[in-house]
Amino acid sequence: MSTIADNIGLVSARIRAAAHAVQRDENSIHLLAVSKTKPAQAVREAFAAGMRDFGENYLQEALGKQAELTDLPLSWHFIGPIQSNKTRAIAENFAWVHSVDRLKIAQRLSEQRPADLPPLNICIQVNVSGEASKSGCTPADLPALAEAISVLPRLKLRGLMAIPEPTEDRAAQDAAFATVRDLQASLNLPLDTLSMGMSHDLESAIAQGATWVRIGTALFGARDYGQP
Ligand X SMILES: *Cc1c(COP(=O)(O)O)cnc(C)c1O
- Nearest position to ligand X, beta carbon: 216
Q: How far is the CB of 223 from ligand X (least distance, A)?
A: 7
Q: Which is nearer to ligand X, 10 or 144 (CB)?
A: 10
**d(C-alpha 18, C-alpha 16), whole Å:** 6
Smallest separation, CB 163 to ligand X (Å): 5
Separation between Cα atoms, residue 191 and residue 171, nearest integer Å = 26
Using the minimum distance from each CB to ligand X, give the nearer residue, 114 or 166. 166
Cβ burial of 167 (10 Å; 0-12, 13-18, 19+) is: middle
CB of 153 to ligand X, least distance (A): 27
Smallest gap from residue 23 Cβ to ligand X (A):
25
Interface residues toward ligand X, by CB under 6 A:
34, 36, 57, 79, 163, 198-200, 214-218
**Of 187 and 198, which CB lies nearer to ligand X in the complex structure?**
198
Burial class (CB in 10 A: 0-12, 13-18, 19+), 185: exposed
49 or 143: CB nearest ligand X: 49
CB of residue 140 vs ligand X: minimum separation in angstroms?
22
* H helix runs in 36-169, sequence order: 40-48, 59-68, 87-93, 103-112, 142-150
User: In the complex with ligand X, which residue's Cβ is closer, 52 or 154?
Assistant: 52
Of residues 110, 134, 113, 138, the one with CA closest to residue 124 = 138
**Cα 99 to Cα 204: distance, rounded to the nearest angstrom:** 21
DSSP letter at 79 equals -
